[in-house]
Structure 1
Amino acid sequence: MSRIQSIFSIAKQPVLNIYFTAGYPTLNSTLKVMNLLAESGVDIIEIGMPYSDPLADGPVIQESSSIAISNGMSIELLFDQLKSCRTNASLSKTGIVLMGYMNPVLQYGFNRFCADAAAAGVDGLILPDLPEYEFEKEYGAIIKAAGLDFIFLVTPETSEERVRKLDELSTGFLYAVSSSATTGSETSFDQVAAYLQRLQSYQLKNPIMVGFGIKDKASFDSVAAYSQGAIIGSAFIKAIADNATLDEIIPSFVKQVRH
Structure 2
Amino acid sequence: MKDSSRLLSIYYTAGYPQLHSTLNIAQKLEQAGVDFLEIGFPYSDPVADGPVIQRSSEKALQNGMTLDVLFKDLKKLREHVSIPVFLMGYFNPVLQYGVENFCKACKEVGVNGAIIPDLPLYEYEELYQKIFEENEIANIFLVTPQTSEERIRKIDELSNSFIYLLSSNATTGKNLNVNDESEKYFKRIKKMDLKNPIIIGFGISNAETFDKATQYAQGAIVGTAFVRMLDESDYENKIDNFIKNIKRGN
Q: Would you identify which runs of 4 or more consecutive aligned residues in structure 1 move more than 4 Å?
A: none
The 2-side partners of 1:193 and 1:134 are apart by 31
Structure 2 unaligned segments of length 5 or more: list them.
Answer: none
Deviations 1:25-84 (A, max 9, x none): 111111111010010010111000000011221111111000000000010000000010
- Please state if 1:130 is matched with 2:119: yes
Letter in 2 for 1:249: K
Report the CA distance between 1:186 and its aligned residue.
Answer: 2.8
Deviations 1:85-124 (A, max 9, x none): 1111xx12x1100001111111111101100011011001
The 2-side partners of 1:187 and 1:95 are apart by 25
Letter in 2 for 1:224: T
Match for residue 31 of structure 1? 23
The 2-side partners of 1:221 and 1:192 are apart by 15
Percent identity over the alignment is: 48
Report the CA distance between 1:222 and its aligned residue.
Answer: 0.3
Once the two structures are superposed, the pairs formed by residues 94-113 of structure 1 within 5 Å of their partners are 94-113=83-102
Report the CA distance between 1:247 and its aligned residue.
Answer: 2.5
Question: Secondary structure of the residue that 2:210 maps to in structure 1?
Answer: helix
- Please state if 1:233 is matched with 2:223: yes
Q: Residue 139 of structure 1: which of 114, 125, 128 is its match?
A: 128
The 2-side partners of 1:229 and 1:186 are apart by 17
The 1-side partners of 2:184 and 2:208 are apart by 17
The 2-side partners of 1:44 and 1:32 are apart by 15
The 2-side partners of 1:249 and 1:118 are apart by 31
Deviations 1:140-193 (A, max 9, x none): 110011001111000111111111111211221000000001111133123432
Once the two structures are superposed, the pairs formed by residues 64-103 of structure 1 within 5 Å of their partners are 64-88=56-80, 91-92=81-82, 94-103=83-92
- Please state if 1:41 is matched with 2:33: yes
Letter in 2 for 1:106: L
Q: Is the 8 A contact 2:13 2:41 kept in 1?
A: yes
Structure 1 unaligned segments of length 5 or more: list them.
Answer: none
- Please state if 1:214 is matched with 2:194: no
Question: Secondary structure of the residue that 1:24 maps to in structure 2?
Answer: coil
Match for residue 181 of structure 1? 170
Q: Residue 150 of structure 2: which of 153, 156, 161 is its match?
A: 161
Question: Secondary structure of the residue that 1:189 maps to in structure 2?
Answer: coil
Q: Is the 8 A contact 1:200 1:226 kept in 2?
A: yes
The 1-side partners of 2:54 and 2:173 are apart by 10
Letter in 2 for 1:100: G
The 1-side partners of 2:72 and 2:236 are apart by 23
The 2-side partners of 1:235 and 1:165 are apart by 32
Question: Secondary structure of the residue that 1:50 maps to in structure 2?
Answer: coil
Pairwise CA RMSD of aligned residues? 1.0
Letter in 2 for 1:212: F
Question: Secondary structure of the residue that 1:212 maps to in structure 2?
Answer: strand
Q: Residue 15 of structure 1: which of 4, 7, 22 is its match?
A: 7
Q: Residue 247 of structure 1: which of 232, 236, 241 is its match?
A: 236
* Greater per-residue helix proportion: 1
The 2-side partners of 1:167 and 1:54 are apart by 26
TM (norm. structure 1) is: 0.93
The 1-side partners of 2:159 and 2:212 are apart by 24
